């Protein structure tokens, strides 16, 4: 394929995806070395329904602080999504030094669709063992 045509297709794809993102959903588009494009949609409080492609990803980020009992968990269909988790500490040096209370962080979970269909992802925010808030997202994968 002609390189300039390929770049034009990529540019049009990114522009069209950005219009979709303007509907209250935050998205990020990445092009991999093999030229495939993966769109990541971030679950937030502004929308409870998401329509994604089987090739796209979902992501949710929330604050955690284990030493004071602040956490969150997710409930999802393990046959429909593969989940990965990452924690970024606000002050990694405090964690390494073992300082009390220095473990405040942002935990991000990412979901990769495994099959098409309609599913839910439920996020439960907890404080000292008690659920303080929950959000249920309806996900349609095509």
Mean pLDDT of the chain: 79
What's the whole-number mean pLDDT along residues 87-110?
Answer: 87
Grouping H, G, I as helix, E, B as strand and the rest as coil, residue 36 is coil
Does residue 9 lie within any of the structural domains?
Answer: no
What's the whole-number mean pLDDT along residues 64-73?
Answer: 95
Between 33 and 11, where is the model more confident? Answer: 33
- The CA-based angle 24-27-33, given to 5 degrees, is 165
d(CA 21, CA 38): 14
Domain count, the chain: 1
d(CA 111, CA 86): 12
* Residue-number span of the structural domain to which 89 is assigned: 39-141
Q: Read off the pLDDT of residues 37-62 as tens digits, 9 standing for 90 and up.
A: 567 888 887 789 999 999 899 999 99
Does residue 48 lie within any of the structural domains?
Answer: yes
Does residue 50 lie within any of the structural domains?
Answer: yes
pTM for the model: 0.71
d(CA 70, CA 24): 27
Name the band, by pLDDT with cuts 50, 70 and 90, for residue 26. low
d(CA 94, CA 115): 41
Between 121 and 101, where is the model more confident? Answer: 121
Does residue 2 lie within any of the structural domains?
Answer: no
What's the whole-number mean pLDDT along residues 90-99?
Answer: 81
What pLDDT, on a 0 to 100 scale, did the predictor assign at position 41? 87
CATH number of the domain to which 47 belongs: 2.60.40.2020
Listed in sequence order, the residues at least 6 apart from 99 whose beta carbon sits closer than 8 Å to its beta carbon are none
Does residue 1 lie within any of the structural domains?
Answer: no
Listed in sequence order, the residues at least 6 apart from 82 whose beta carbon sits closer than 8 Å to its beta carbon are 111, 112, 114
Does residue 81 lie within any of the structural domains?
Answer: yes
Does residue 93 lie within any of the structural domains?
Answer: yes
Does residue 16 lie within any of the structural domains?
Answer: no
Grouping H, G, I as helix, E, B as strand and the rest as coil, residue 98 is coil
């Amino acid at each position: 394929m002609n390189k300039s045509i390929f770049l034009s297709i990529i540019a049009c794809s990114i522009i069209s995806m950005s219009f979709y993102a303007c509907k209250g959903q935050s998205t990020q588009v990445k092009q991999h070395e093999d030229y495939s494009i993966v769109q990541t949609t971030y679950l937030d409080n502004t929308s409870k329904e998401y329509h994604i492609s089987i090739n796209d990803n979902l992501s949710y980020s929330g604050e955690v602080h284990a030493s004071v009992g602040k956490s969150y968990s997710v409930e999802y269909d393990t046959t429909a999504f593969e989940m990965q988790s990452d924690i970024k500490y606000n002050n990694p040096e405090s964690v390494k030094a073992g300082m009390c209370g220095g473990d405040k962080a942002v935990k991000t979970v990412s979901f990769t669709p495994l099959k098409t269909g309609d599913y839910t992802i439920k996020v439960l925010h907890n404080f000292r063992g008690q659920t303080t808030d929950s959000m249920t997202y309806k996900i349609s994968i095509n």
